[in-house]
Structure 1
């Protein structure tokens, strides 16, 4: 990056750990703390083996936490990641003590060479400086350079992990600047570039030196520059002129929601895919979901460096259209082993693409019961005729429920075999697999079926993808209940599709139907990936009008 004439950057945000400071360990003190942890738990384990287990678990947790920008409570962190092979009750009882001792064993930070002089010079040149740090700054207490920062943003009191785009927006707000006037300096693409791009910062710079930890997480986004020395920032950011450095500050609060917009809303006859993403950004969506109708030629046109794709809806890219796969029974529930394996391979392909994109989750259509579905179609016909309260409707519904239950058994067995392979394949990718509830009764899963699936697969990377509209339709037909599903499965809700419903028609803008979103918002989990999924007939104006409905009910939040 060269000097920029009339440089629009007014503020520089720095991540402290790994950029301004690096960690130095006191081996003797660390060993003593490890022994104390073993004593607290009363386990028989060699200190070296125990430390190795913690290091591996911490690495897995950090990778997961960085992708989903969530910090778990110590009870969850230690029982799910660091010591998951020990008694959960024992770990939860001592989790806070273990966390304190572990943090102390990792302490010891040293400023990188040239930091203080470089920051002082940048400040003298008129730049506003801010820091974003995951940890308390007590390890740098007494360092006078901290006084150079007009904002010090820490996520300690939230569940957001740096560099969650909300933290960067908070830093911009504290500096009374627009994100477009700010640059972020970090050290890892997967957690620094993505967050800055979502927040709309103008520039992202990566600092790579002997202290930098290798980033093993794939990320399609590239920084605007990569430097090897802190002092090189002085070549990038020349002195601001007086009008820029001392202009009257105007606090700007851009609207950006911690949610994705699905490409199901894309009208491909009118605009390009990247134009759709730009409109989505203007609406306030931080990220996007690619639905199952994105062919390979469109997928290859996407500007992945500019727009973050947080989730993929299988199959994606759609090398074969989902309807064609279903028609040919090439799905996860097929009782024909060769066809079932095709469905598994299609999902594996989606997982591989999601991994390369650094996506967070995948939406899975599990499959369906093959054969006659005429009772479902007839039931909906009666509903549209206003006969949902008739004896005819109730009798047909009970017949269908009994038929579906019996015919679904072999397909459920096939689905378990498919997911057994998929869950193993996805392990270590840090991608959440979401089993979506669908809108037709002969599709998978019913309440009883997803109960079996979630009990069978208790791994933290697989769960329920809650499609609000689909379940509302099932409720209107008297087949399911939203509160029933939420009471049973909300803790496993890895993703959610938000759209509204009128009768048994769905994918309207929120607020243009009958769904009570206030029932939904409070049940979302910190890791639930939120996506607004409305059809192409829904206009930009209707989406914009629906966002306050979701915000007021806690379904989406501003960053």
Structure 2
């Protein structure tokens, strides 16, 4: 049954992509939720696009954004968790640049406003961030074991991060120049990430955006990821955003349970006030996208959206 139109809000294909092999069926399932726009995520394949593109051309669905690397690239070197635009290897860095320009070409062709970008990461073994997560869950952030491990991690991260941030700035500058030369009318949103070794922190995002002043680069504020990084101690997900509010390209809307993300805001946490702190970011974003996991049911999605809309309306009215 077709649900109430959800207006400007978009919905990511990450919710149902594993249930579908045919792109059209995947998009129709999202449209039945009441969304007129979708974000095509990085697991969408060229094969899926064969049945999605006619829907776009007929105006049956709008595309708000695409998520680099798009369409799907099987090579993990250019997946979501890699150095990507920060590669020191020039051949790999140039390939990452061309893949991002390619994502922007698709976005422009589909009338999307933005490309979601995972810029890169500091090459610290993933096992270390997993150990931090385990310590957080078992011992708590204030435990001596966690604090000691976190301090060791941050010392290593800070020692290495600035070089990768500068490489990312260099790469994004090349991307923007190539996009401008091709006449691509899209924004690039560098996304807040879900692992502490990944770039950017909010301070790093500010550095990158300021270095590229005048370029179509801003922050893609993933609320759930930011909450997780706040809980681990990487940054203040609300306070540090005050200097970036004018730079928000888009948001991913989802909440976390501890360090588990992509849950429906308010509904799964049962907390009717915590997520309120992130409403200003959602309001300021040009592109607003729900990025939910497959465990979220249609009923929960509708309930969460209704709660969010009431909260947004109440905030506008000063309640």
Q: TM-score, normalised by structure 2?
A: 0.88
Query: What is the Cα deviation at residue 271 of structure 1?
Result: 7.2
SS across alignment from 1:510: coil
Q: Which residue in the other structure is 2:308 paired with? A: 550
Task: Give distance in 2, aligned partners of 1:265 and 1:551.
Answer: 20
Which of 526, 529, 532 is the equivalent residue of 2:287? Answer: 529
Q: Which residue in the other structure is 2:86 paired with? A: 333
SS across alignment from 1:284: coil
SS across alignment from 1:301: helix
Q: Which residue in the other structure is 1:64 paired with? A: none
Q: Which residue in the other structure is 1:518 paired with? A: 276
The answer on 1:291 being equivalent to 2:10 is no
Q: Which residue in the other structure is 1:317 paired with? A: 71
The answer on 1:356 being equivalent to 2:106 is no
**8 A Cα contact 1:330 1:339, kept in partner:** no
The answer on 1:484 being equivalent to 2:242 is no
Query: What is the Cα deviation at residue 300 of structure 1?
Result: 1.6
Query: What is the Cα deviation at residue 556 of structure 1?
Result: 12
Query: What is the Cα deviation at residue 278 of structure 1?
Result: 2.4
Q: Which runs of 5+ in 1 are unaligned?
A: 1-199, 201-252
The runs of at least 4 consecutive aligned structure 1 residues that moved more than 6 Å come to none
Kindly provide the CA deviation profile for residues 160-202 of structure 1, in whole angstroms up to 9, marking residues without a partner as x.
xxxxxxxxxxxxxxxxxxxxxxxxxxxxxxxxxxxxxxxx9xx
Q: Which residue in the other structure is 2:30 paired with? A: 280
Which of 220, 224, 229 is the equivalent residue of 1:469? Answer: 224
Kindly provide the CA deviation profile for residues 242-292 of structure 1, in whole angstroms up to 9, marking residues without a partner as x.
xxxxxxxxxxx9533211000000144357432332232232212000001
Q: Which residue in the other structure is 2:146 paired with? A: 393
Kindly provide the CA deviation profile for residues 373-398 of structure 1, in whole angstroms up to 9, marking residues without a partner as x.
43322111111214322111112111
Q: Which has the larger radius of gyration?
A: 1
Distance 1:539 1:368, change over 3 A: same
Q: Which residue in the other structure is 1:231 paired with? A: none
Distance 1:328 1:314, change over 3 A: closer
Which of 9, 26, 30 is the equivalent residue of 1:259? Answer: 9
**8 A Cα contact 1:436 1:466, kept in partner:** yes
Which structure has the higher relative contact order (CA within 8 Å, separation 6+)? 2
Q: Which runs of 5+ in 2 are unaligned?
A: none
Query: What is the Cα deviation at residue 493 of structure 1?
Result: 0.4
Distance 1:327 1:489, change over 3 A: closer
Query: What is the Cα deviation at residue 349 of structure 1?
Result: 0.7
CA RMSD of aligned residues (A): 2.5
Task: Give distance in 2, aligned partners of 1:290 and 1:374.
Answer: 30
Distance 1:276 1:264, change over 3 A: same
Distance 1:267 1:355, change over 3 A: closer
**8 A Cα contact 1:258 1:556, kept in partner:** no
Number of aligned positions between the proteins: 305
SS across alignment from 2:61: coil
**8 A Cα contact 2:224 2:256, kept in partner:** yes
**8 A Cα contact 1:266 1:273, kept in partner:** no
Task: Give distance in 1, aligned partners of 2:314 and 2:8.
Answer: 6
**8 A Cα contact 2:245 2:284, kept in partner:** no
Q: Which residue in the other structure is 1:159 paired with? A: none
Q: Which residue in the other structure is 1:422 paired with? A: 175
Which of 92, 95, 99 is the equivalent residue of 1:342? Answer: 95
SS across alignment from 1:520: helix
Which of 257, 262, 283 is the equivalent residue of 1:507? Answer: 262
Kindly provide the CA deviation profile for residues 83-135 of structure 1, in whole angstroms up to 9, marking residues without a partner as x.
xxxxxxxxxxxxxxxxxxxxxxxxxxxxxxxxxxxxxxxxxxxxxxxxxxxxx
**8 A Cα contact 2:122 2:164, kept in partner:** yes
Task: Give distance in 2, aligned partners of 1:556 and 1:317.
Answer: 39
Distance 1:312 1:267, change over 3 A: closer
Structure with a larger share of its residues in helix:
2
